[in-house]
């Protein structure tokens, strides 16, 4: 059995953080350190096919959730606070509804328990034009990607995944081929009768379209104790766009 790669910081109650699609644990490094300073043992986890974790042809939320259970067992964690952003939020919801006894409190960042149609095609279109036989550094990769992805923030997010596969040969840490073919899976909703009755916080960006007011009843159907908070001046990457408010609201919830 393969165990997910992670970075662990701090001492105290276990707090597992799950990144979004095409992200990795490094995306949460700064916030992770802040949580650790407030008496939590923070586990920044790379999900399968992402970061430094194992690659696999199999990819769905049941498996992603079981990966976290295996990780918790490996690290002797009976139960934990769990935070997930976007795809990681779906994994966290799956985990909480399948194994409620393992999740003390749940935080879901900017994703609802509904189906989202595939919407990452433009990203994979851009990535498909990166020829690592010709591209020799990050700047060249950014120049090429800018022809297809205009948002510099999105490009920087994607290019964080670049690493030296071998001397003078760049590549992506994420499993490009599998993730490109599994875009339908990323948008999957959680099972219709799934319920987590523990404390839950859903945070949404005020500029994001991922959680709309008409999603609130569905959230509360699956998560009856859910609180829903809005982060100001933030889109889908709310933890990066307004980290101060995100940190305050989530820490208050964990400490309540």
Give pLDDT tens digits along the chain (256 positions): 999 999 999 999 999 999 999 999 999 999 999 999 999 999 999 999 999 999 999 999 999 999 999 999 999 999 999 999 999 999 999 999 999 999 999 999 999 999 999 888 889 999 999 999 999 899 999 999 999 999 898 899 999 999 999 888 999 999 999 999 988 888 999 887 899 999 999 999 999 999 999 999 999 999 999 999 999 999 999 999 999 999 999 999 999 9
Residue 1 in any domain: the answer is no
- 48 and 93 belong to one structural domain: yes
Alpha-carbon gap, residue 112 to 90, rounded angstroms: 8
- Other CB atoms within a 10 A radius of the CB of residue 30 amount to 12
Choosing from 181, 203, 223, the residue where a domain stops is 181
- 174 and 148 belong to one structural domain: yes
The CATH code of the domain that includes 245 is 3.40.50.1820
Q: Which range of residues forms the domain containing residue 238?
A: 6-116+188-255
- Other CB atoms within a 10 A radius of the CB of residue 255 amount to 9
Q: Using the CB atoms, write b or e for 124-149: b if 16+ within 10 Å.
A: bebbeebeeeebeeeeebbebbeebb
Token pair belonging to 136:
């020799």
pLDDT in tens, 103-143: 999 999 999 999 999 888 889 999 999 999 999 899 999 99
**Which residues does the annotation mark as catalytic?**
86, 177, 236
Residue 193 confidence (pLDDT): 87
- 169 and 228 belong to one structural domain: no
* Distances 78 to 99, 104, 121, 226 between C-alpha atoms, Å: 11, 10, 39, 23
- 53 and 152 belong to one structural domain: no
Alpha-carbon gap, residue 120 to 175, rounded angstroms: 15
Choosing from 153, 181, 209, the residue where a domain stops is 181
Contacts of 209 (CB under 8 A, 6+ apart): none
- 32 and 148 belong to one structural domain: no
- 134 and 155 belong to one structural domain: yes
Q: How far apart are the first and last CA of the chain?
A: 36
> Any idea how long the chain is?
256
Residue 159 confidence (pLDDT): 94
**Strand boundaries in 25-183, DSSP class E:** 40-45, 80-85, 103-109, 162-166, 169-172
Residue 118 confidence (pLDDT): 82
- 12 and 126 belong to one structural domain: no
* Distances 216 to 159, 222, 245 between C-alpha atoms, Å: 34, 10, 21
- 169 and 248 belong to one structural domain: no
Residue 153 confidence (pLDDT): 86
- 177 and 250 belong to one structural domain: no
Contact (CB, 8 A) for 174 and 21 = no
Alpha-carbon gap, residue 249 to 107, rounded angstroms: 10
Choosing from 181, 211, 233, the residue where a domain stops is 181
Contact (CB, 8 A) for 12 and 37 = no
Alpha-carbon gap, residue 186 to 90, rounded angstroms: 8
Residue 183 confidence (pLDDT): 83
Phi and psi (nearest 5°) for 250? -75, -40
């Amino acid at each position: 059995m393969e165990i997910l790669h992670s970075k662990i910081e701090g001492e105290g109650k276990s707090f597992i953080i799950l990144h979004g699609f095409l992200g990795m644990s490094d995306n949460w490094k700064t916030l992770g350190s802040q949580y650790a300073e407030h008496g939590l043992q923070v586990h920044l986890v790379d999900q399968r096919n992402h970061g430094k974790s194992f690659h696999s042809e199999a990819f769905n939320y049941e498996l992603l959730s079981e990966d976290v259970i295996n990780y918790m067992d490996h690290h002797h964690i009976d139960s934990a606070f769990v935070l997930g952003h976007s795809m990681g939020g779906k994994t966290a919801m799956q985990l909480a509804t399948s194994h409620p006894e393992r999740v003390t409190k749940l935080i879901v960042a900017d994703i609802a328990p509904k189906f989202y149609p595939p919407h990452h095609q433009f990203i994979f279109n851009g990535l498909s034009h990166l020829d690592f036989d010709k591209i020799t550094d990050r700047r060249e990769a950014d120049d090429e990607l800018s022809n297809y992805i205009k948002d510099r923030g999105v490009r920087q997010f994607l290019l964080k995944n670049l690493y030296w596969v071998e001397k003078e040969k760049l590549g992506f840490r994420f499993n490009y081929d599998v993730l490109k073919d599994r875009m339908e899976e990323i948008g999957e909703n959680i099972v219709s009768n799934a319920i987590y009755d523990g404390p839950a916080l859903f945070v949404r960006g005020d500029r994001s379209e991922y959680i709309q007011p008409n999603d609130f009843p569905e959230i509360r159907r699956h998560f009856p104790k859910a609180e829903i908070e809005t982060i100001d001046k933030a889109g889908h990457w709310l933890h990066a766009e307004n980290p101060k408010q995100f940190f305050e609201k989530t820490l208050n919830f964990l400490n309540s």
